Amino acid sequence: MATIPGHGARKAALKMLDAVLRRGETMEQAGGAANGLPEFADRALARAIAAESLRWLVDLDALIDSATKKPLPEDAKARAVLRMMLAQWLRLDTPPHAVVATCLPLLDGGPKRLAHGVFATMTRAGATLPPVPSLPAAVAARWGERAEAIAAGLAAPPPLDLSLRADDAGEGLEGESLAPRHLRLPRGASVEQLPGFAEGAWWVQDFAASLPARLLGMGEGRRVLDLCAAPGGKTLQLASMGWQVTALDNSSRRLERLRQNCERTGFTAEVIEADAMGWHPEKQYDAILLDAPCTATGTCRRNPDVLHRIGERQIEAMAELQRQLLDRAGNWLVPGGRLVYATCSLERAEGEEIAGQCELTVDPVRAEELPGGLTPMPEGWVRTDPGMLADEGGLDGFFIARFTA
């Protein structure tokens, strides 16, 4: 059956779904299932099928359950394959006959007739998905009154955001700018083939992810510590703003990507491989950027796996680590130095609750420091989510707080 064109991509997508939903892997980890496919298009298709199945999982399951007399078990292979079949038809515009030909072989030795019957029922009835994906109940409860707006921001994968190394570095690119040295392009472009990539004129960085470094201001040769720095987007950003950067991370693999990014863009940084919880700096810093490890639920537009594998246990563990990192980092500032704490999380436990316990002095973010459409919270903190700037293409969810020593 592997000779059927497109079957390999569907087989890889099924493995990715299983890795996320049964083993709790991230999309990045699960993506290894597609790496063995010979064609780039097949690898991209496998990831798209898995991502759209996860993005619309609640609604896909509702359709499946409406067409079966007895609900399929949550972990049944037939349910997983039907999720993929419906996602391809309803989200990726794959013709039904192509869906059947490439997906039913995944159930050889299993309930192929059942899956075929359910899918045929859906196509004959002209089944549709709602305009906005439904969130899992536990997720909607955590996100509270913003849940509906956030869900609306998940209806489509995000555009491509670039951070520019200089004001004129976007030459040859057509896009929309939301702030200085930013450019937003339609999704789907091959990054390596865009003008300026080889010359290091820009790097990929979600617009919300660029806000923490922006809130440190221009460096003017001063020293900044980029904690948990890999893969390096904020390191490059800080260097482009005139900071003398020390980039610290405990992942050798991710630090290698940071070094490659520095080499491509021509920026320099002192790179240190170490665990921040056991590391001691030789001198204090004028500024620190702590983009802390977190559950990354704010990246749900591009990583819909977080909607289904993140729960209270993971949130509590990450929040405790963030609290400890913030306590340590506060001691590494010169008197009057500035620290920005940020997480790409939509959880209050990984944002507001941590910032509210910090012993440093809050340095409130002012409205004029933020791009149009964003405003600080009453505490002077910043909260973004995928429901904001919807007309401009949305943005990831971040919490940002600024302090002084």
- Say whether 344 is catalytic: yes
Bridge partners (DSSP) listed for residue 160 = 185
For residue 59, give the amino acid letter.
Answer: D
Place of tokens 């609306």: 152
* Helices 77-91/7-21 angle, 10° precision: 120
d(CA 183, CA 194): 13
Q: Which of 388, 387, 341 is nearest to 361 (CA)?
A: 341
With tokens 């609604």, the residue in question is: 59
Candidates 228, 294, 344, 358; catalytic one: 344
- Could you give the C-alpha distances from 55 to 62, 132, 273, 365, 389, in angstroms and in order? 14, 10, 35, 33, 20
Residue with tokens 């869906």: 99
CA dihedral 375, 381, 386, 387 (to 10 degrees): -40
Q: Which two tokens stand for residue 198?
A: 């080889």
Beta strand 270-273 with 244-249: parallel, antiparallel or unpaired? parallel
The two tokens of residue 166 are 């200089």
Active site (catalytic) residues: 344
